[in-house]
Amino acid sequence: MSVPIRVAHLVGSTGLYGAERWILALLRYLPRDRVQSTLINLVDQPGQTSDVVRLATSRGLPAIDFYTGGRFNPASISRLAGFVAENSYHILHSHGYKADFLALFTARRTGVKVISTPHGWSKEPDRRLALYEALDRFLLRFADHVCPLSPELRDGLRSAGVPPPKLRMLLNAVDIAEVDSVVPSAASRPGESTLGYVGQLIKRKNIECLISAFRGLAADREDLRLTIVGDGPLSEELRRSVEGGSVGGRVSFTGYRIDRIGVLKTFDVFVLPSREEGIPRSLMEAMAAGIPIIASDIPGNRALIANGDTGLLFPPDDPKRLAVAILTLLEQAAHAKEMARRARAKVERHFSAERMANDYAALYAECSPSSV
């Protein structure tokens, strides 16, 4: 009888965002008779318990917070190499630039294989972060396999010099069972319609366009409400933009919500107005939840939404066209419901966590030592 492949998933998590939930979904569905996985969250402070480890262990998944000795402490490589050898891991599966750095240098000491899944690049105006990510793309040339989640990420990695034979595109996915298990966080209010957004409050998400479209509709649609779920550097700026105006009392900023899917299920329409995306997890969650969708007409969103079939697309940075799309879904409820049904079916066919886990299990088997 073969020995299961032992995989350590490395991540440097500071919250429960798309990447963390993606990793938890992968661990949930990997075949445990063939793959034994441990989530290792890299932390800079000793004794802390992270949200991702807390949630993983509550789901019965092996997970620990691993103290690195401080940010980019060279001694952390020795400590991690010792831990990897002691626990006989065959593969380090890294997620994010900090995890990639440690995985690649640890592998040089231990001989284990390294698989990296880039979850996207920030594109935010942070020079230090941009430097770290540029270095990460360079170092990924030395991984055994790099698994981008979308064609855009794959093409960017090719341009960064990652050898094409090392690239294995395994599309983003969503835990449909998790979405199904969540109940709405509140009952719908009779006579009200809620537009909603879930995600980071950062420039490329283009939330200003959604707020502008809402302003254009609000005067004629007193029943309309807007709920924005998430946090980020633009949080205060966006809040101030609606304070004191005619729509201020009808726009809710919830901040970061661990029960974001429960809030999502209260929406009548989900809107993703981004300027750039990979294959967005929030969009897949809305599709799985059966919420009618409007998204900007960009490559990552088009991978999921066919205009008029599984949702509506609008030109980025065009709040008037977005407002027309919103009215279309609100006024043609039967058509909106049918598009939402087809969107759910598309996620089930092509973007389920079970499919993703089977793809990764096959890749692990390719990378495992012949004795395994």
Domains of the chain: 5-173+352-367 (3.40.50.2000), 177-350 (3.40.50.2000)
Model pLDDT, residue 180: 97
Sheet with 5-11, edge to edge strand ranges: 63-67, 35-43, 5-11, 91-95, 113-116, 145-146
Q: What does the alpha-carbon distance between residue 94 and residue 17 come to, in Å, rounded to a whole number?
A: 16
The answer to whether residue 281 scores a pLDDT higher than 80 is yes
The 3-state DSSP class for residue 234 equals coil
Burial profile 265-297: b = 16 or more Cβ within 10 angstroms, e = fewer: bbbbbbbbbbebbbbbbbbbbbbbbbbbbbbbe
Residues 98-120, mean pLDDT to the nearest whole number: 94
Phi–psi pair at 275, nearest 5 degrees: -90, -30
What are the angstrom distances between the C-alpha of 191 and each of 225, 327, 336? Answer: 11, 15, 18
pLDDT digits (tens, 9 = 90+) for 135-146: 999 999 999 999
Sheet holding 251-255, edge to edge: 251-255, 224-229, 193-198, 269-272, 293-296, 312-314
pLDDT above 60: residue 1: no
pLDDT number for residue 109: 94
- Confidence band for 368, pLDDT divided at 50, 70 and 90: confident
Pairing of strands 224-229, 193-198: parallel
Summary mean pLDDT of the chain: 92
Predicted confidence (pLDDT) per residue in 258-273, tens digit? 899 999 999 999 999 9
pLDDT of residue 133: 87
- Helices (DSSP H) in the chain: which residue ranges? 18-29, 51-58, 75-86, 97-110, 127-139, 151-159, 176-181, 207-218, 235-242, 260-264, 281-288, 299-302, 319-331, 333-350, 353-367
Residues with Cβ within 8 Å of 365's Cβ and at least 6 positions away in sequence, in order, are 5, 34
Q: φ and ψ at 271, to 5 degrees?
A: -125, 130
CB contact at 8 A, 11 and 42? yes
| Residues 291, 307: Cα–Cα separation, whole Å | 15
63 phi and psi angles, rounded to 5 deg? -160, 145
Instruction: Let me know: does 194 contact 221? Beta carbons within 8 Å.
Output: no
Per-residue pLDDT band at 371 (split at 50, 70, 90): very low
> What whole-number percentage of the chain has pLDDT above 70?
97
Question: Model-level pTM?
Answer: 0.85
Residue 273's alpha-carbon distances to 55, 203, 240, 352, in angstroms, are 30, 11, 20, 24
pLDDT class of 150 with cuts at 50, 70, 90: confident
Backbone angles phi, psi at 317, to 5 degrees: 65, 30
Nearest-angstrom CA–CA distance, 183 and 7: 33
pLDDT at site 330:
96
